[in-house]
Amino acid sequence: MENSGQSQTFRDRRPDALGDLKVLPDELICAILECLTPRDVARLACVSSVMYILCNEEPLWMSLCLRKVNGQLEYRGSWKKTTLFLYVSELRI
């Protein structure tokens, strides 16, 4: 949501894209997303255009990453990429 045009479009689509969740403020939805696994967040991003936007916020992925990391962290250009790298690496072990 970088400019006012994008922000307005987000607000216009929000009620239809979120269905029953439209009554929840974005801050609460984001707090709920932080309780999910990266896999669940990635799946939820496919549900609607608004969920896609909320599920791709860098602060969310930073939180998921820092919750997972033990020791050294190699940043991969974005928090989402870094988090997914950590989880995929763990699956290979």
* pLDDT tens readout for residues 42-81: 999 999 999 999 999 999 999 999 998 888 899 999 999 9
Judge whether 41 and 62 are in contact, CB under 8 Å: no
Judge whether 4 and 11 are in contact, CB under 8 Å: no
Q: What is the CA radius of gyration of the chain?
A: 14
pTM score, two decimals?
0.79
Structural domains present in the chain: 4-92 (1.20.1280.50)
Would you say residue 1 has pLDDT above 50?
Answer: no
Q: Ramachandran region of residue 75, left (φ > 0), alpha (ψ -120 to 50) or beta?
A: beta
What pLDDT shows up at residue 3?
59
Residue 5: band (very low, low, confident or very high) from pLDDT cuts 50, 70, 90: low
Of residues 3 and 52, more confidence is placed in 52
Which pLDDT tens digit goes with each residue over 17-38? Answer: 899 999 999 999 999 999 999 9
Q: Which amino acid is at 82?
A: T
Nearest-angstrom CA–CA distance, 41 and 16: 20
